[in-house]
Structure 1
Amino acid sequence: MASAPQQGLPLFYNDLTPISSQEHGDWKFRPIEGAQFLKTAHAVPLLAEEFIQASRFYPIVFSLGDTPVPLALMGLNEGVNVIVDERGMFPDDWYVPAYVRRYPFLLARLRPDSDDLSLCFDPTSGAIGPFEDGEAIFTDGAPSERTTAILQFCEQVEQASVLTNAFFQDIREQKLLTDGEFTAQPNGAPQPYIYRGFQIISEDAVKNLRGDVARKWLQNGLMPLIYAHLFSLQRMADIFGRQSIQGKLPPPNGPLLG
């Protein structure tokens, strides 16, 4: 059910172009109305620092594989998103993950032999171009205030990604991840819907942590993130209910694994 972003370009990005004052000196930025790219996305990468806010709205799970990715679930089946509407708009007051808010921008390494990051954008997004209206990307050859703010946000996301990786190092060392499963059987359904293919943190493993590890995690703020994840799993039933109401459940006799 939960799969990590594909190798190559990051999830949702069709192409990447570095922003250049030479090539884009007179270009403008127009905010995207809705996240159309989300309409068939059932999961979005999440930063560890978002767990507490996001846990009120989404089940938070981890992808399979050696390098698990935290994901906010917006549907329980591939190609199903029960949160955004047809325009890709979130409900009012709904938490929007930073990964979505960052699009179409991204900090990327342009050369494999360098650690320098450059601000890039997805040219297929339609958000940046030689428009007559919009916010300037450059002012007198220098990044505009808007571009500077975008760069700062992308830098914050990059820094938070480093902290998220450290979060997983601790979880991996303590062997807390286990295979997850969610089961639901609507009234009249001939058999239950069973969703697997994702990982969760084992609550029993957390309870059995060594005392020194538990104290360290309470002090450094990691333990609240773990419990935010565990509490968020109650949202599984909410997402399933939305799929049922919206008629987006797979056929009763079809494959039930997410």
Structure 2
Amino acid sequence: MSQTQGAPQITGKMFLFEQPELLNIEQHRELGIDPAKKPFDFCSKIRAVPLTISEIPEASKRYPVVFMSKEEPVPLAIVGFHDDNNLFVDDDGNWENYAYIPGYLRRYPFALAGESGGGDRLAFVVDRAYEGVSTESSRKLFQNGELSDFAKQAMEFTRTYESDRRLTDQLMKALKKYDIIQPQTAQYTPAGETEPRPFTQYFGIDEQKLTALSDQQFLELRQMNIFGVIYSHIHSLANWRDMISRRMRRFKLSEREAISGARPA
């Protein structure tokens, strides 16, 4: 937490945060946070959500898990494709029952971020633009001159998430080092057809490159306990079929329309 005077500044951009501010008692003494009427409306227009390494086995049961790029292999849970529409959030802003909700979204509107000026120091951040932020809220961020119990719980979860995210970064460097993340194409064969149609591109583990690793390279990855994550990612790609079905239901499309990127008129 930062308690500097004035308006603290944050370095870089933060996914989904429209007005991130470093939390400080001078600026946010009266602020509180109420649950939003539409809890996940803030992420209803996205296609993917960042994941940490510990989330991948659970997330892989419902979402295709891919990587942002070769150079930045951030794990992502795919929640939509072709258009900016989260297929797991309904019109009331609710996340689908029993579907895993990534920690990045559960910690929102809080996060940890670097302060301007560089260094490794991280500060507690709140998105001032979040619908539930209000001076009228009974769930205050500060009480008696210090963080409230509510804010402390949020900070603890956020710190745990950040620790996992940093571990994720370290493990992803190993995948980048051995160049096993490559561009790939998802394909689907509509009913009545015999040839698969490509419908979206993503970055994933190249299984041929994986099996071509030397014994020493394989051992290094094994010692990092990363193979469970690798296999969860590979198995998760079967969920592309479910994503097609979801897009068909959401927009009342045929299979061909769903994979082509069509939208109803």
TM-score bracket, shorter-length normalisation:
0.7 to 0.9
**How many aligned residue pairs are there?**
251
* 1:57 partnered with 2:62: yes
Poorly superposed stretches of 4+, deviation over 6 Å? none
Greater relative CO, 1 or 2 (CA 8 Å, sep 6+): 1
Distance 1:155 1:255 in 2: 39
Q: Compute the displacement of 1:81 (Å).
A: 1.9
* 1:124 partnered with 2:121: no
- Give a deviation string over 1:124-165, Cα, whole Å, max 9, x none: 11222211x431211210111111111111112222221111
* 1:83 partnered with 2:88: yes
SS in structure 1 of the partner of residue 251 of structure 2: coil
Contact 1:196/1:257 (8 A) holds in 2: no
Name which of 226, 233, 240 aligns with 1:236: 240
CA RMSD between the two structures:
2.7
* 1:204 partnered with 2:208: yes
- Give a deviation string over 1:55-83, Cα, whole Å, max 9, x none: 01100011235223221101121312211
Give me the TM-score of the superposition, normalised by structure 1. 0.86
Distance 2:178 2:222 in 1: 15
- Seen in structure 2, the aligned counterparts of structure 1 residues 246 and 113 have a Cα distance that, compared at 3 Å, is closer
Q: Compute the displacement of 1:196 (Å).
A: 3.5
- The aligned residue for residue 3 of structure 1 is none
Q: After the TM superposition, which residues 1-258 of structure 1 pair with which residues of structure 2 at under 5 Å, given as runs? A: 8-32=12-36, 33-64=38-69, 66-131=71-136, 133-187=137-191, 193-247=197-251, 256=260
Distance 1:99 1:58 in 2: 15
SS in structure 2 of the partner of residue 136 of structure 1: coil
SS in structure 2 of the partner of residue 154 of structure 1: helix
Q: Compute the displacement of 1:175 (Å).
A: 1.2
Contact 2:199/2:259 (8 A) holds in 1: no
- Seen in structure 2, the aligned counterparts of structure 1 residues 193 and 74 have a Cα distance that, compared at 3 Å, is farther
- Give a deviation string over 1:77-127, Cα, whole Å, max 9, x none: 131221111122112221000111121111122223343211111111122
